[in-house]
């Protein structure tokens, strides 16, 4: 998949997260927010030439690869790396734990995911 295709996946995941939050589904929203950011990072990495379109992406590896774009190349704000880690924590709670993600945390996740998708969209379309 190309950078644009991954960006489209990110936008779709974000739209789903937003709709889920409006319905009060905090766990599902948090999970979709993480994947919105995950796909946005994939788009950013491919666009920057760090990753290949057919590359297999791990959740841990993508954080290390993102640090190249935030720390070394400074294409994106450094706090996006923290956002990705927080979103992954929310997803793990939502998908694998008995406790639930709060609506407050889901709203926070939505804001972080929106910032992620917007930042990558801006760089790719500039």
Q: Is 110 exposed, middle or buried (0-12, 13-18, 19+ CB in 10 A)?
A: buried
Q: For residue 42, give the nearest of 69, 62, 60 by alpha carbon.
A: 62
How does pLDDT run along the chain (126 residues), one tens digit per residue? 899 999 999 999 999 999 999 999 999 999 999 999 999 999 999 999 987 667 677 777 788 888 888 888 888 999 999 999 999 999 999 999 999 999 999 999 999 999 999 999 999 998
Global pTM reads: 0.92
Q: Which DSSP category does 101 fall into?
A: -
- Measured between alpha carbons, how far is 55 from 61 in angstroms, rounded to an integer? 11
């Amino acid at each position: 998949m190309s950078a644009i295709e991954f960006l489209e996946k990110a936008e779709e995941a974000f739209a789903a997260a937003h709709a889920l939050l409006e319905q009060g589904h905090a766990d599902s929203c948090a999970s979709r927010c993480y994947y919105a950011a995950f796909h946005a990072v994939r788009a950013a990495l491919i666009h920057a030439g760090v990753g290949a379109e057919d590359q297999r992406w791990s959740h841990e590896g993508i954080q290390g690869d993102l640090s190249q774009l935030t720390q070394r190349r400074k294409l994106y704000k450094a706090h996006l790396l923290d956002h990705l880690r927080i979103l992954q924590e929310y997803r793990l709670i939502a998908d694998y734990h008995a406790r639930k993600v709060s609506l407050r945390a889901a709203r926070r996740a939505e804001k972080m995911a929106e910032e992620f998708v917007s930042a990558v969209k801006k760089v790719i379309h500039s």
